[in-house]
Structure 1
Amino acid sequence: MGWHTDERGDAFPRAPTQEEWEAMGPEERARVVESLPGEVTWDEMAMPEGDRHFQGKVQAMDALRGYFKRQQRKVYLGAELPIYYPGERRFAPDLLAVLDAEPHPRQKWVVSHEGKGLDWVMEVHVGGDRKKDAEYNVRRYARLGIPEYFIYDRARQRLEAYQLASPEARTYVPMEQRQGRYVSRVLGLEVQVEEDRLRFWSGNALLLESEELIARLEGLLLGVQHRAEEEARQLEEEVRRREEEIQLRQQAEQQLAEETRRREEAERRLSELQAELERLGHRGG
């Protein structure tokens, strides 16, 4: 169970049909899930497309993962994860999202076992034949009932988006841009290509990637440090100014005390002179 041959005679793993799945007991289901490989073969994958392909999906995944974590919403995000729909040939999209699913690490996604299929898929295209992403996958993902499918063409810096008009529909309808952005009802976000990056927006708020958040936090920290240093400098200046004021006041008090002492001394001497004059006047009389 779990291995089939396609129309070309190639053997490849495939999940049982839903009818076969429902006829199994828990132990047999567990054995089937365990037997399905958690990787795909080179024959099933496109040729490696370098850093631009890797960065295109990783940066998008990073921004989405941080956003949903901050929202405290359970969303599973995967990249190049083997996907097993009932009775279908497996595939591994560049990026996928499943809403309201536990975000713990997985080696594969078996739809019958998980209880639901994918909600959102994105393929990143850099070079080579676009037919797989732009034609074949458009038909396949729609037939599987995946609500939204995005194609990020990094070579042309273009974005295409498709959606099912209804949950029952099995043919995609191209999305229309609104002010240069596609509105993803599944993610609750707006998506656009901007300056060689795929950008996600929540209203007017741009979803930052980890490196951008770190850079912003470092900038804020640097600003805080500069303000703290300036406040410390101003405090030191204030302390110095007050010490100078205290010193001046002490000097003024000392000067006043000295002047008071001199005045008292002068008054004492004046009193003594007056007394001496009076004494001499009495004697002369």
Structure 2
Amino acid sequence: MERAPVSWVVDPDDPRAPPQEIWDRMTPEERERVLDALPSEFEVSEASPPEGDFHFNPKVAARDTLGGYFQRIGRRVYLACELPVYYPAERMFAPDLIAVLDVEIKERAHWSVSAEGKGVDLALEILWSGRSKKDLEDNVARYASLGISEYFVFDRRRRQLRGFRLVQGSGRYQPIVPQEGRLTSAVLALDLGLDGDRLRFFHGQDALPETRELLDRLGAMVGDLEARIEQTEKRLDEERRRADEAERRLAEALAELERLKRERG
């Protein structure tokens, strides 16, 4: 007897992934249909309002800095900005930055916990001019209830950084106590701190270089290499000139020697 198809309709006004018990009963084809129906883009009225550079730049810098670092050390950490996240039967949310450990690094339209087999490990929100209650109260309760291990809030305008870590088995967060002005992330195995109004990540005492800093370093290295090449070329030109001059003098000396031989003969 064939099993009746499991029905789950995604509401465009309130898109949600199906509850886990329904997902577990679905066939691969039914799951694929649901995943295709979960939106990855939203009208401005349905998502976050348009943002300025003060909000946009820090989250992209954080993603690129961490992405470059983990790639260099060979650690698989998926990072994304404003990616729609779907927990079973929960309202969609899209943190400024998410990190998920030990998963395939690829482009995604959204993060479906049921399909991926795990939830988000870390969330980061950038606060500039939005509602602080959402980031500092609502999200603290919600992210903890979803089991997100760590949550950080960077208030750029006030130059404040807060961190929260999940108390295992409790469904609630406890604040991460700063150590020498920095917050330790057990998920990332890095420290977070502020440099003026910039969010920085630290490995030991060293700040992870941001993309623009790496480009500046690369530019300086290229400039230094070009200067060395130019100096080497000048030195080779001078050595060639000296060799040509020595060869010319030798030729003149040999010619003079031949002349003297002829006169004596």
Q: Same fold (TM over 0.5)?
A: yes
Where does the alignment leave 5 or more consecutive residues of structure 2 unmatched? 1-7
**Aligned pairs (5 A) from 1:205-244:** 205-244=206-245
- Deviating more after overlay: 28-37 vs 90-99: 28-37
CA distance in 1, matches of 2:262, 2:31: 107
SS at match of 1:164: strand
Per-residue deviation, 1:239: 2.9
Aligned position for 1:53:
55
- Deviating more after overlay: 84-93 vs 42-51: 42-51
| 1:253-282, Cα deviation, whole Å (9 max, x unpaired) | 7778888999x79xxxxxxxxxxxxxxxxx
Per-residue deviation, 1:26: 2.9
| 1:14/1:89 contact within 8 Å kept | yes
| 1:226-251, Cα deviation, whole Å (9 max, x unpaired) | 00111111222233334444555666
Aligned position for 1:163:
165
CA distance in 1, matches of 2:240, 2:173: 72
CA distance in 1, matches of 2:43, 2:187: 30
| 1:2/1:14 contact within 8 Å kept | no
| 1:161/1:174 contact within 8 Å kept | yes
Aligned position for 2:111:
109
TM-score with structure 1 setting the length: 0.79
SS at match of 1:13: coil
| 1:84/1:91 contact within 8 Å kept | yes
Which is greater in Rg? 1
Per-residue deviation, 1:138: 0.7
CA distance in 1, matches of 2:245, 2:66: 58
**Aligned pairs (5 A) from 1:126-205:** 126-166=128-168, 168-205=169-206
TM-score with structure 2 setting the length: 0.84
Q: How many residues align?
A: 258
- Deviating more after overlay: 36-45 vs 132-141: 36-45
| 1:2/1:36 contact within 8 Å kept | no
CA distance in 2, matches of 1:180, 1:240: 61
Where does the alignment leave 5 or more consecutive residues of structure 1 unmatched? 5-9, 266-285
CA distance in 1, matches of 2:139, 2:44: 18
- Deviating more after overlay: 128-137 vs 11-20: 11-20
Cα–Cα, structure 1 residues 160 and 93, in superposed 2: closer, same or farther, change >3 Å?
Answer: same
| 2:161/2:194 contact within 8 Å kept | yes
Per-residue deviation, 1:82: 1.3
Letter aligned with residue 212 of structure 1: E
